[in-house]
Chain A
Amino acid sequence: MDNKSSLVWVDRAIIAVLVVMGVMMLMPFLWLFSMSFRPAAEAYKMPPSFLPPSLDPANYQAVLDSSVPFLRIYWNSIYVAVLSTIGQLITCTLAAFAYARLRFPGRDGLFFIMLFGLMFPAQVTILPIYLGYAQVGLLNNPLGLVLMGLTSSFGVFMLRQFMRSQPKELEEAALMDGAGYWKIFWRISLPQLKPALSALAIITFTGSWNAYFQPRALIESQNAMTLPLAMDLLRGYMGQGNISIVMAAMSMAILPVVLLFLVAQKMVIQGVTMSGIRG
């Protein structure tokens, strides 16, 4: 009995320590959010605040009024993330269906070559893409970021594995009845893939929203930038004086991913741990 109550006590102590650590983990987010509501003149006033002193949107207005085309940049981020996500959902499901359900010469070889792509870091592909984009005028163009994000080895791999774990009797029966491959794909296989598709969508969207290395290599002009590039720009641009305004921009920039996480916490964690894509 005594032993048991001391165990409970230990559990409580550990949880208390974890709560303190958890709050500390959130400090940077609390700080940036409350900073975004501090009047710019008081940005450096100490002590720092971790709760918004007011809800005056002046700093948000200042971001929109600044000479950095913030709304345009925001739109670019949405455009690249949404189109890449749609693109991957299409190309990866099509390929996964063929690799998991159809027989054709060279299938396993092709799949293996595709898997190879998982091991090349972005650093090995960026130079030729840069040179190629320079030739065809895709530098400084968000479309360039979309094109290179339209498929992924990971997406093909994950969906193929998922499809193989599903029973294939329905597809076979449909084939016997003379249904076309497209019809089988669309009517039978695709609905089965739903849970994996939402995971892939979350991963692709977050990955694209957070991407920095490739956009940084391929984009210089402000009008073509995505948000991760703009934050660094705003920081330098606004100088040391205007953290509040930078943090207002930051709050808007992280909003979609934070919302996604608050609403679909479990699914986001599953998707991200499955793929290993981090910010």
Chain B
Amino acid sequence: MARLPRSDLKAAQARAGYLFVLPSVLLYAVFVLAPVIITIILSFAYYDVSFGFFWVGLENYERFFSEPRALTIFWNTLRFAFLAVSFNVGVGLILALALNRAMPAPLLYFFRLAFFLPVIIAAAFVSVVWSYFYSFDFGVINYYLSTLGLPRVPWLNSSQFAMTSIIIMDVWKNTGFFMIILIAALQGVPKPILDAATMDGASPWRRFSRITLPFISPVLFFCIVFASIGALQVFESIVILTSGGPGDATRSLSIYLVDEAFSGFELGYAASVSVVMMVLILIITVIQLLGSRRWVTQ
């Protein structure tokens, strides 16, 4: 059999290449790329199934940033993200430091099970369980508080406690994820350096801040970025625990977006809310990236 000329081979390879990527590219274009573009276009328009489509320029965005309610929700989202990220990563780091020691295999299996199981069970499922834990009259938590002689806490029905309750559940659910990632990072810290520092009489805190922390800082940074992206999109845990209430005390951007889009049919406005969300995530990621130069070891 004669060998194909080089250019034919190239063309054949290109043909094969396009065929192999075709399914994923098509699906991606239909379900991600086109929707993102349409959302951005919609955010500059008024759109209604019966009234049609009109350009309104920046009106949707002006409305968002001048409506007190929208701003409350915007701040709720940021506040939730800040607290959830701090505690998730902070508690995850403490757990990782505590767990990073020699122990028998069954014990290790138990810890992985206990701390990671909440991570992989849907928030939609565990939030229902927690809603019973938090219930004022019949809740498990208030039962134990009152047996200790402490007052019952209105976990979900007071605007003072609702956000805290959601954050507690969020940390219970997600901190194991960061713990696992940070344990892997801690295992990469060279033991000889730590041992040498101990010999020289460095205190545990000094060893942590001067050796361990710089060493794991890239991973810690990844955890913070990652936790922020997730927290800014928070949805189901709040929907199920409080539906955004009481009032708007726990309403997040995702919930507001869905409310506006699917009950108000204000599609253009809803699209602008989702663009705000996307840009917010982008800005926060960029700020973290810039800030990281000060503390992350390259």
Question: Which positions 104-140 of chain A face chain B at CB distance < 8 Å?
Answer: 104-105, 107, 110, 113-114, 117, 119-132
The secondary-structure label for the interface of chain B is helix
What CA separation (Å) do A213 and B122 show in the bound complex?
Answer: 11
Instruction: List residues of chain B with CB within 8 A of the CB of A126.
Output: 35, 261, 274
Interface membership of B126, Cβ < 8 A: yes
Instruction: List residues of chain B with CB within 8 A of the CB of A278.
Output: 119-120, 123, 173-174, 177, 230
8 Å CB contact of B129 from A28, A107, A272: A28
B13 touches A104 (CB 8 A): yes
Chain A residue nearest to B110 in the complex (CB): A22
A107 touches B119 (CB 8 A): no
Instruction: List residues of chain A with CB within 8 A of the CB of B110.
Output: 19, 22
Question: Which positions 236-275 of chain B face chain A at CB distance < 8 Å?
Answer: 236, 239-240, 253-254, 257-258, 261-262, 267, 270-271, 274-275
8 Å CB contact of B20 from A185, A211, A273: A185
B17 touches A107 (CB 8 A): yes
Interface membership of B226, Cβ < 8 A: yes
Chain A residue nearest to B233 in the complex (CB): A121
Interface membership of B50, Cβ < 8 A: no
Question: Which positions 210-269 of chain A face chain B at CB distance < 8 Å?
Answer: 210-213, 216-217, 227-229, 231-232, 235, 240, 243, 246-247, 250, 253-254, 257-258, 261-262, 265, 268-269
Q: Bin the interface of chain B by size.
A: 35 or more
Contact with B along A11-32 (1 / 0, CB 8 A): 1001101110111011011011
B112 touches A269 (CB 8 A): yes
Given A44-B138, A210-B123, does the pair A25, B282 have CB atoms closer than 8 Å? Answer: no
Instruction: List residues of chain A with CB within 8 A of the CB of B236.
Output: 212-213, 216, 228
Chain A residue nearest to B226 in the complex (CB): A276
Interface membership of B140, Cβ < 8 A: yes
Interface membership of B58, Cβ < 8 A: no
Given A104-B17, A279-B173, does the pair A18, B99 have CB atoms closer than 8 Å? Answer: yes
B13 touches A117 (CB 8 A): no
Given A125-B39, A217-B262, does the pair A22, B114 have CB atoms closer than 8 Å? Answer: yes
Binding-face segment, B25-33, B62-70, B79-87, B157-165: B25-33
Interface membership of A1, Cβ < 8 A: no
B177 touches A272 (CB 8 A): yes
Question: Which positions 54-96 of chain B face chain A at CB distance < 8 Å?
Answer: 95
8 Å CB contact of B36 from A14, A125, A209: A125
Binding-face segment, B101-109, B189-197, B207-215, B288-296: B101-109
B128 touches A128 (CB 8 A): no
Binding-face segment, A55-63, A66-74, A88-96, A161-169: A88-96
What CA separation (Å) do A247 and B126 show in the bound complex?
Answer: 11
What CA separation (Å) do A212 and B258 show in the bound complex?
Answer: 12
The secondary-structure label for the interface of chain A is helix
Interface membership of B18, Cβ < 8 A: yes
A123 touches B17 (CB 8 A): no
Interface membership of A102, Cβ < 8 A: yes
Given A25-B118, A120-B278, A279-B120, does the pair A147, B31 have CB atoms closer than 8 Å? Answer: yes
B278 touches A121 (CB 8 A): yes
Interface membership of A151, Cβ < 8 A: yes
What CA separation (Å) do A29 and B113 show in the bound complex?
Answer: 12
8 Å CB contact of B114 from A25, A117, A132, A279: A25
Chain B residue nearest to A45 in the complex (CB): B138
Instruction: List residues of chain A with CB within 8 A of the CB of B13.
Output: 102-104, 181
A127 touches B126 (CB 8 A): no
What CA separation (Å) do A187 and B270 show in the bound complex?
Answer: 49
B143 touches A121 (CB 8 A): no
Chain B residue nearest to A276 in the complex (CB): B226
Interface membership of B46, Cβ < 8 A: no
A-B contacts, 23 listed (Cβ < 8 Å): A18-B98, A22-B111, A25-B172, A28-B126, A44-B138, A97-B20, A98-B16, A98-B18, A98-B21, A102-B16, A103-B14, A104-B14, A117-B28, A120-B278, A124-B275, A153-B28, A178-B1, A181-B13, A246-B128, A261-B116, A278-B174, A279-B121, A279-B126
The 8 A-B residue pairs whose C-beta atoms are closest, nearest first, are: A104-B17, A22-B114, A210-B122, A228-B124, A98-B20, A125-B35, A104-B14, A128-B35
Binding site for A on B (CB under 8 A): 1, 10, 12-14, 16-18, 20-21, 23-25, 27-28, 31-36, 38-39, 42, 95, 98-99, 101, 103, 107, 109-126, 128-133, 138, 140, 143, 147, 172-174, 176-177, 180-181, 184, 226, 229-230, 233, 235-236, 239-240, 253-254, 257-258, 261-262, 267, 270-271, 274-275, 277-278, 281-282
Binding site for B on A (CB under 8 A): 11, 14-15, 17-19, 21-23, 25-26, 28-29, 31-32, 44, 46-48, 90-92, 94-95, 97-99, 102-105, 107, 110, 113-114, 117, 119-132, 147-148, 150-151, 153, 156, 178, 181-182, 185, 206, 209-213, 216-217, 227-229, 231-232, 235, 240, 243, 246-247, 250, 253-254, 257-258, 261-262, 265, 268-269, 272-273, 276, 278-279
